[in-house]
Amino acid sequence: MFSQDEDILSAISKVDRPVLGKDIPILIFRVLRHYSQIYMEDLMGEKASNIVFLNAGKELGKKLGEKLHDNDLKKYLENISNFCKEQKIGILKIIELTDNKLVVQLDECITCAGMDNIGKRICYFETGLVAGLVEHFVGNKKVIARETKCNANGEGTCEVSVVF
């Protein structure tokens, strides 16, 4: 498929669907998103699968960070928040921001909002995405990110905490 160095985003963003257009139902997104994660868990075990999704999300987050960049952190977060809303990914809320910690919540999360409580947090790709966005801002320094709330865990929102 694609190598890491290729511009995956620009390759996959070219859509030729004159009749059906660019939008899809959210269920179709979720089928792809969750089936690939569940299958990966079966194949390689939950821990390894989680790392794969986390790392994939992080790579995407770093690329997205370049596109949404601003030198001012608050403005950068605003760009990200606007992007999430425009693309219907979710409604981003900054819960905590200090010199070395960021906590964000994603209400109406594209991946998990409204899901039944399955007793675990599942948004590893999304957690990686937030980590990558922060890593981009701090000059690609490694950060520690965890999903601290998830709709799939009955916590009413999707929350990611990042220490940098």
User: Which chain residues interact with Zn ion by CB under 5 A?
Assistant: 112, 123, 150, 158
Which CB, 52 or 150, lies closer to Zn ion?
A: 150
Cα dist from 3 to 7, 8, 11, 87, 114, whole Å: 9, 8, 12, 25, 35
Q: Are 147 and 159 in contact (CB under 8 A)?
A: yes
At closest approach, how far in Å is the CB of 150 from Zn ion?
A: 3
At closest approach, how far in Å is the CB of 149 from Zn ion?
A: 8
At closest approach, how far in Å is the CB of 162 from Zn ion?
A: 15
Q: Are 65 and 132 in contact (CB under 8 A)?
A: yes
Task: Return the DSSP state at 138.
Answer: T
Sign of CA dihedral 68, 72, 75, 80: positive
Distance of CA 71 to the CA centre of its chain: 21
Residues linked to residue 147 through DSSP beta bridges, in sequence order = 160
Kindly give the interhelix angle for 73-86 and 46-67, rounded to the nearest 10 degrees: 110
At closest approach, how far in Å is the CB of 113 from Zn ion?
A: 8
Which CB, 8 or 36, lies closer to Zn ion?
A: 36
Task: Return the DSSP state at 113.
Answer: T
Which CB, 112 or 129, lies closer to Zn ion?
A: 112
Which CB, 64 or 109, lies closer to Zn ion?
A: 109
Which CB, 123 or 129, lies closer to Zn ion?
A: 123
